[in-house]
Amino acid sequence: DVKVTQSSRYLVKRTGEKVFLECVQDMDHENMFWYRQDPGLGLRLIYFSYDVKMKEKGDIPEGYSVSREKKERFSLILESASTNQTSMYLCASRSRRGLVGYTFGSGTRLTVV
C-alpha cells in the first residue's frame, strides 16, 4: 500500500516562529499536495507540486511556502507562524499514471500560541 507519512502528529509553536511540516511518500508519486482542514470549511488546497522543484499555488497560499527538493518529500513552510494558522494540515500524493485516487497522510495538528 502507498504510504504517506507526516513527521509530526501534533505541534505547538509560538507566534512568529518559522515552522516546517514534512511529508514523505514511498510510491514514487509525481504529485503531492498540502491541505488545511478547518471545521465547516472542509479541506482547502494550500500548494501542490507536479514534480521535483515544481510547485503551484492552491486556493489559500498566503503565509505559506513549500519545498520539493526530492521526489518523495514535500515540505510546507510557515515563514512566520500566526494564530490563524492553527489548523489540521494534511498531505496527499497521487501518481500521474492512470486513474488512481489520492492517498492522504494522518495529518499534523498545529497549534500556534
Distances in whole angstroms, Cα of residue 93 to Cα of each of 61, 78, 81, 86: 18, 20, 25, 23
Binding string to other proteins for residues 42 to 61, with x set by CB under 8 A, is what? xxxx--x-------x-x---
User: With CB under 8 A as the contact rule, which of the stretches 20-28, 61-69, 70-78, 96-104 interacts with other proteins?
Assistant: 96-104
Among 40, 62, 84, 97, binds other proteins (CB under 8 A): 40
Nearer residue to other proteins within complex by CB, 56 or 79: 56
Q: What share of the chain is helix, strand, coil (3-state, %, to 5)?
A: 5, 55, 45
Residues making contact with other proteins (CB under 8 A): 31, 33, 35, 40-45, 48, 56, 58, 90, 92, 94, 96, 99, 101-102, 104-107
